[in-house]
A = this chain, B = another copy of it.
Amino acid sequence: MTDAWMTDATTPQELEHTLDAATGAFEQWSRRRPADRAPVLRAVASALEAAAPKLVVIADEETSLGQDRLRGEMVRTVFQLRLFAQVVTEGEYLRATIDPADPSWPMGPRPDLRRMLEPLGPVVVFAASNFPFAFSVAGGDTASALAAGCPVVVKAHSGHPRLSAATAEVVHGALRSAGAPEGLFDVVFGTEAGRAALTDPRVKAGAFTGSTEAGRALFDLAASRPEPIPFFGELGSVNPVFVTKAAAERRGPAIVSEFVGSFTLGAGQFCTKPGILLVPASAGLVDLLPEAVPSTPFTLLNERIRASYAGAVRELRDTAGVRVLVSGTPTAADPSPTVLRTTSAELLRDPEALVREVFGPATLVVEYAEESELLEVARVIDGQLTATVQGEDDDTIAAELIRLLAAKAGRVLWNQWPTGVSVTHAQQHGGPYPATTAPATTSVGTEAISRFLRPVAYQNVPQHLLPPALRDENPLGIPQRVS
């Protein structure tokens, strides 16, 4: 248990010290051979693993997410740190590229040019409320930024301050024992400290997971600095699911049951929660929902989320063309899952009003008459983290639907569900705005490291002055692309 004073708002003096230390740490940490950052990442992973029983209890007290789910999230958090340790050891992420001098290069003699990715500088990470481990103090943004060679200043989320302080203590201890430079990592508390860090000239990038409103405000701050910096905001998403007629006919009950599991998972508090399910009016799937949806109340993360959930559900429910299908039996404090219904004709009439994220256990079922309406909906939706098709192999509409959805979403799924985002090499957790502020990047998976890197080319630099990653003898043993 951590004392309350440790989570008081960070003062400007404390922040100054944190940023100054991060700047000092950058010179050391960025120059450390990538593979030598791996033991430090692994030390943090092991320390978190050892502290998990204690941390999970605090996390559950502050978020009500349940110990099982939180233990699972800790597994993911530890895995991410170890995976990035592997990434920096393998070194492919550096994208070392070598063009030896070539006097016969068609546009004129080519000098010796060698390029690799190098770390940006100190990064400020804004922690998320709904992933107190995996997207918080020692989560994916922190892991990938540290792996890249960047110091990290985490702005703790106000929803779990004690956990943030306790996690920071574990991370600090692990870093110290593993010989990381002083100032490599710190946590600050309070909105003002977060804003001040993001606008400080020593900070070179921001990463954020949270609401579109808060994320956009921070993006605007980052972009309007005298020196604008990249801001990797993972914001909101409706994650529509398109059920074809054939799929509804052949697998209707299974689709409904899996859908309910997905939209109520973690009380619907995932950025990948399916918020729209498009089903053929003819197949009667809507009639299966009232029975399939649990009527038990869910405890949401905190009072603010409860209030904004209630408001968002009310607003969507009161929109023209929307009716209530399932309202459950909420308690005074806790809502139960809500399913609203409408038609694709209504949605196409006013997509802005109907295609909206509701954070929490609510979803909108949209009935369509003709499958061609699925294509029309795919054309009108805006940027999404995910889009899912429940279809059959012989669906003639599937190819076109998938092409249209790929133009709108970071990840397109077939006959699976968007919740549960695996951490892998090919994962893409991003998408066009408003899903993210940086559609060319991902916040999950090994590619997340590239957010905190920029390319540097060396021209005609002698071997002994080149970074080891670019030398002919390849002392790091990493993949080099040689022309």
Contact = CB atoms under 8 A, between A and B. Distances in A.
Nearest to A77: B107
A175 B230 CA distance: 36
Interface string A430-461: 10111001111010000100100111111111
A329 interface: no
A332 interface: no
Interface string A83-115: 000000000000001110000011110110111
B422 A113 contact: yes
Given A411-B459, A433-B227, A454 B439 contact: yes
B416 A457 contact: no
A293 to B, nearest CB: 25
Contact of A97 (B402, B425, B464): B425
Contacts of A82: 106
A471 interface: no
B220 A424 contact: no
Contact of A426 (B113, B439, B462): B113
Copies of this chain, complex-wide, total 2
A413 interface: yes
B402 A465 contact: yes
A31 interface: yes
A422 B111 contact: yes
Contact of A462 (B204, B382, B393, B459): B393
B459 A412 contact: yes
A344 interface: no
A79 B106 contact: yes
Contacts of A230: 438-440
A371 interface: no
Interface in A102-161: 105-108, 110-111, 113-115, 118, 120-121
Given A412-B456, A455-B442, A456-B411, A107 B423 contact: yes
A424 B454 contact: no
Interface in A218-266: 219-220, 223-224, 227-230
A433 B226 CA distance: 9
A49 B76 CA distance: 56
A439 B434 CA distance: 23
A427 interface: yes
Which residue among A230, A432, A455 has the maximum number of chain B CB atoms within 10 Å of its CB?
Answer: A455
A53 to B, nearest CB: 19
Contacts of A454: 410, 430, 432, 439-440
A424 B460 contact: no
A481 interface: yes
A398 B228 CA distance: 30
Contacts of A409: 456
Contacts of A432: 204, 227, 454
B411 A460 contact: no
Nearest to A466: B402
Given A76-B107, A426-B99, A402 B461 contact: yes
A406 interface: yes
A428 B456 contact: yes
Given A31-B403, A428-B456, A440-B453, A465 B79 contact: no
Given A30-B407, A98-B426, A223-B228, 7 more contacts: A113-B426, A227-B434, A228-B437, A399-B465, A410-B454, A424-B483, A425-B483
22 contacts: A31-B403, A76-B107, A79-B107, A99-B427, A108-B422, A110-B422, A219-B228, A223-B223, A227-B432, A402-B461, A402-B465, A410-B456, A413-B461, A414-B461, A415-B460, A416-B460, A425-B481, A426-B483, A432-B454, A439-B454, A440-B450, A440-B454
- In the A-B complex, the 4 residue pairs with the closest CB atoms: A428-B457, A223-B223, A115-B426, A113-B426
Interface of A: 30-31, 72, 75-76, 79, 82, 97-99, 105-108, 110-111, 113-115, 118, 120-121, 204, 219-220, 223-224, 227-230, 382-383, 393, 398-399, 402-403, 406-407, 409-416, 420, 422-428, 430, 432-434, 437-440, 442, 447, 450, 453-462, 464-465, 467, 481, 483
